[in-house]
Chain A
Amino acid sequence: MKTTLSTDLHADPVARSPWHVWGWLAAAATAWLFAYQVNGPLSRWVVNDVAGFTPESRLGDAVEFFVFDTTKILLLLAGIIFAVTVLRSFMSVERTRALLGGRREGVGNVAAAGLGVVTPFCSCSAVPAFIGFVAAGVPLGITMSFLIASPMVNEVAIVLLYGLFGWKVAALYVTAGLVVAVVAGWVIGRLRLERWIESFVFETTLRGQPVDASRGLGWSDRLAIAREEVRTIISKIWPYLLAGIGIGAAIHGWVPEGFFVRYAGPDNSLAVPVAVTLGIPLYSNAAGILPLVEALHAKGLAIGTVLAFMMSVVALSVPELVLLRRVLKPRLLAVFVGVVGVGILAVGFLFNLVL
C-alpha cells in the first residue's frame, strides 16, 4: 500500500518537488505575458492575412474584435482567477468568522464586506456559512454584509469590467459594491429582524472543532487548488463568453452609433430599474452578458445602468435567493431583496448623474 501511495504522488507534477512547482509557475507566467503581449498583432494577422478578411471592412473588424477580445478576456480570467485563488487560500470562512465575532455594527459591516472579498467562498456554501455565523453569535446585519459582498465583488466580474470597460469602471464597481454591501447589511441589522430567521438556525448546536480549510496547505497545494479553480470556472463560462462576445461584435459592426441613447441613455430614468429587474434571473451568465452590455454601452447605454445591471446579475440571483430562503423567512428574504435592490438602484442613478 505504501508503494502505491508514493508512486501516485510522483505521478502528479505539482506534488513532485518545490523546484518543479516554481519552474512550472515561471513557465506559465512567461507564456501568459507573451500571449497577452502578442494578442493584438496576432489577432490582426490571423484575421486579415491568414483568414483573408479585408482590413477596415465591417466584417473584418467584427471578426478581429471577436478574436482579440475573446483571447484577451480568457487570458485575463485565467491569470486573475489563478492569482486570486492562491492569495485567498491563505484565508478561510472559519478565520473570517473568528475575525467578525464580537464586532460592533458599523465597523463590523465594513470588516465583513472587506472579508467577503478576500475569503474563498462559493455561494453554494451560503446556507452553512449563514448558520455558522449566526449560531456563533455574529450579528445578522454583519453576516449579511459578508454574504452580499462575497458574490458581488468577485474576480470574474472585475476581470470582465476591466477587460471590457477599463480600470476606472472596474474600480468604481468594486467601491460601489462594497458600499452597497456595508450599507445594506447595516440597514438590515438596524431593522432588528432576527425573529424572521428560520428557528432551526438558532437550535443548531455546533459540535466539534471546525476545520480551517486554509490550514496545513503547502505551496504546491495552493497552486494546485488555483489551477483547478481556473479550469472549473473557465470550462463553465466559456460558451457564454463566446456567445456574448460574438453578439457584441455584431452589434459593434452593425447597430448604428448612439442607437441606445434614445432608449437607455442617462436621461431615461426607467432604464436603471429595468436593468436591475432583468439582472435577477440572469445568474452566473455574467460572462456572456457583459460583452453584450459593453456593445450596448458603445451605442449609448449609460454607464450607471451598466454597473447596476452587473450588480443585480451577481448579487440578486434566483438560485442564491432560493438558497437563502432555507434560513430566512419570506419577509426577511423580501427585506433583503428590497434593501439590496434599492442600494443597486441608487448606484445606477448616481453614476448616470455624475458620469
Chain B
Amino acid sequence: MKIKVLGAGCANCQALEKRTADAVTLLGIQAEIEKVTDYGDIASYGVMSTPALVVDEKVVVAGRVPKVTELQSLLIGARI
C-alpha cells in the first residue's frame, strides 16, 4: 500500500502524518508513507485544503485530521 500525506509542513500536516503512521502500526499492515510538499503536486490531486491523505493514488481525506481510529477504517476500506 502506498500512502501519501499532502501538505507543506503546517502543524495539521504533521499531525496527520503521525496519526497515519500510528494507524499503519496498529493495523500491522505493510505501507510506505511519503510526504508530498510541492504545491503543484498537491494541487494536481485536486486537493484544495491541506492536509490530505492519498492511498494508492486516490484522495481519501482532505482538509481535516481524522482520529487514528477513523484512519484505520479508511485504510482498511481502501485496501478492499
Contact = CB atoms under 8 A, between A and B. Distances in A.
Contact of A127 (B39, B52, B59, B64): B39
B78 interface: no
A128 B69 contact: no
A326 B49 contact: no
Contacts of A93: 48-49, 63
A228 B57 CA distance: 28
B56 to A, nearest CB: 12
A211 B73 contact: no
Best-buried of B11, B42, B63, B73 by chain A (most CB within 10 Å):
B63
A122 B39 contact: no
Interface residues of B, number: 34
Interface in A207-225: 207-213, 224-225
Kindly state the interface size class of chain A when it binds its partner: 35 or more
A122 B49 contact: yes
B10 A124 contact: yes
Name which of B47, B52, B57 has the most chain A CB atoms within 10 A of its CB.
Answer: B47
A305 interface: no
Nearest to A96: B48
A56 interface: no
Nearest to B28: A1
A213 B46 contact: no
Question: 5 closest pairs, A vs B, by CB?
Answer: A213-B63, A131-B43, A132-B48, A210-B46, A124-B10
Interface of B: 7-8, 10-12, 26-27, 39-40, 42-50, 52, 57-65, 67-69, 72-73, 76
Given A12-B67, A204-B43, 5 more contacts: A8-B69, A124-B10, A124-B12, A125-B63, A211-B46
Interface of A: 1, 4-5, 8-9, 12, 15, 92-94, 97, 120-122, 124-125, 127-129, 131-133, 135, 200, 203-213, 224-225, 228, 232, 326-327
